[in-house]
Amino acid sequence: MTVDILAIGAHPDDAEAGCAGFLLKAKSRGLRTGILVLTQGEMGTFGDREVRVAEARAAAEILGVDAFRLLDMPDAALEFNYENSLRITQVLRELRPRLVLSPHFEDHHPDHAATARLVERATYLATRPALFPEHEPLIPQPHHLTFPLSFQRPCRPTFVLDITDVYGIKQKALQAHGSQYAPILFAVEIAARYYGMMITVAYGEGFLTNGPLPLTGELGII
């Protein structure tokens, strides 16, 4: 199975908080979507490993993603190294996304920042023919957008996506993370209204890019 867009999060609720609206809007355009979670959230303030894994699967079902992958990298100890990059690279070669989404490089949470760097490296490694020869090299290299998850280090987005029409479904996906939902509900609501205000809509999601992206004839980036 292949996807057009792959959201990669450090923890089971990262994609839902940061880019669920993007995934839902992509599905409405007929694009195939996926979620890759690097850790199983075992170091979270609330909920154990088994609970968080079950919540992540339930949320992915609500979002209707076409592919869901869950790795077992250590929560709260996620490191930017070659081994971890290769594990992401293998998933990229299998799922073959054209666009990947991840937490932002300068996020307050160390795992989020490490994920951004791992994804950046993995998108390059996925183009190398000598790696994972059972899969064709992923060419062209997938584009990479990041999403802020923390107000401790606020950043101004490059793009803001209007998610007003799908915000209710995003909330349902977040509610699937029952062990985490109450603590993050207020923050996600503020973020969505904050980014929405930037483009004069009710709810938005913000994204950043480190380099130029192609603007298609349909005025899209993918």
Residue-level pLDDT, tens digit, the chain, 222 residues: 899 999 999 999 999 999 999 999 999 999 999 999 999 987 776 768 899 999 999 999 999 999 999 999 999 999 999 999 999 999 999 999 999 999 999 999 999 999 999 999 999 999 999 999 999 999 999 999 999 998 788 789 999 999 999 999 999 999 999 888 776 778 899 999 999 999 999 999 999 998 888 888 887 877
The amino acid sitting at 105 is: F
Q: Residue 15: in which H helix or E strand, if any? A: helix 14-28
Mapping DSSP to helix (H, G, I), strand (E, B) and coil, where does residue 11 land? coil
Exposed / middle / buried, residue 173 (Cβ in 10 Å: 0-12, 13-18, 19+):
buried
Q: Which domains does the chain have, with CATH numbers?
A: 5-207 (3.40.50.10320)
What secondary structure letter does DSSP report for 107? -
Q: From start to end of the chain, where are the E strands?
A: 5-9, 33-39, 67-73, 99-103, 143-147, 159-162, 204-207
∠ CA 161-162-163 to the nearest 5 degrees? 105
Single pTM value for the model: 0.96
